[in-house]
């Protein structure tokens, strides 16, 4: 990064180094050695060691042998934001009722500065189900959650989302994306086969806030339960999900 990057006025090189390391570790499934980090950032190990040591002492990074890995501290700090805390607090009881009635898992997704992030999830009752871990990032253009959030955003908001979003590996937009978004806005939900997991259908509904703004998407990764022929079918689960979304939208608007 050159001295003229950003607006060129107020540089903080030490902070930039720390943020570079955090962003690098956040993108890796496994930890990295100091040598790996310095190579990836094109900096010397000596230049990075003290900063990495401070991040570890403050709890943002954990050291495991020679490897360094990001902890959950940043995620937990993000959840201290009152709007997210309130939304999750309102959503969890409704989501639990949905999973018990539908016998399916569900998760809550928000858009945050270019990314779709899972902020809450409830597992299906019983021994198995399809779940996505809290904190996971999912595709904007190839997921039910993304289609719902895009469909109910204003034209200006949608343009900003496309500008901010960095395409994830294997994230391919459907050829008829514009028509799909128009259909989602018309019908009030998305029901599409998962682009990541065979046999899974992503059922997604919007959580609407004041003035018709879209706050989040509530999504159920529906799988047919062969062990229980009396389990709700996909149409029934979608109806339950839409009821849950409407309840949360009312709650969110009045909170």
Q: pLDDT by residue for the chain (255 residues), tens digit each?
A: 444 455 556 678 888 888 999 989 888 878 899 999 999 999 999 889 988 988 988 888 888 888 898 876 776 566 555 577 788 889 999 999 999 999 999 999 998 878 899 999 999 887 777 888 888 888 899 999 999 999 999 888 888 888 888 887 788 888 899 999 999 999 999 999 887 777 899 999 999 987 788 999 999 999 987 677 788 999 999 999 999 999 999 765 555
> Is residue 114 included in any domain, yes or no?
yes
Domain that holds residue 26: 13-71
The number of domains in the chain is: 2
> Is residue 3 included in any domain, yes or no?
no
Co-location of 140 and 39 in the same domain: no
> Is residue 17 included in any domain, yes or no?
yes
> Is residue 192 included in any domain, yes or no?
yes
Alpha helices in 103-170 (DSSP H): 144-151, 155-164
Does pTM surpass 0.75? no
- Report the CATH number at residue 143: 3.30.450.40
Co-location of 63 and 121 in the same domain: no
Using an 8 Å Cβ cutoff, are 204 and 65 in contact?
no
Q: So what's the pLDDT on residue 81?
A: 59
Co-location of 37 and 142 in the same domain: no
């Amino acid at each position: 990064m050159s001295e003229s990057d950003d607006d060129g006025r107020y540089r903080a090189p030490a902070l930039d180094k720390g943020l570079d390391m955090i962003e690098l570790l956040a993108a890796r499934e496994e930890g990295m050695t100091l040598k790996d980090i310095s190579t990836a950032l094109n900096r010397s190990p000596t230049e990075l060691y003290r900063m990495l040591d401070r991040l570890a002492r403050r709890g943002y990074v954990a050291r495991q042998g020679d490897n360094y890995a990001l902890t959950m501290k940043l995620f937990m700090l993000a959840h201290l934001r009152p709007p997210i805390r309130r939304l999750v607090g309102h959503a969890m009881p409704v989501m639990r009722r949905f999973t018990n009635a539908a016998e399916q898992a569900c998760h809550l997704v928000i858009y945050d500065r270019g990314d779709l992030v899972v902020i809450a999830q409830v597992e299906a009752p019983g021994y198995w189900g399809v779940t996505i871990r809290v904190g996971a990032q999912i595709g904007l253009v190839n997921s039910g959650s993304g289609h719902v959030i895009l469909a109910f955003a204003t034209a200006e908001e949608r343009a900003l989302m496309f500008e901010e979003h960095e395409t994830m590996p294997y994230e391919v937009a459907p050829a008829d994306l514009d028509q799909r978004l128009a259909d989602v806005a018309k019908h009030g939900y998305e029901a599409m086969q998962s682009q990541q997991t065979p046999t899974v259908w992503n059922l997604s509904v919007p959580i609407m806030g004041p003035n018709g703004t879209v706050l989040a998407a509530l999504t159920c990764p529906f799988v047919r339960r062969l062990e229980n022929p009396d389990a709700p079918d996909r149409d029934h689960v979608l109806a339950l999900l839409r009821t849950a979304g409407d309840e949360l939208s009312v709650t969110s608007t009045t909170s």
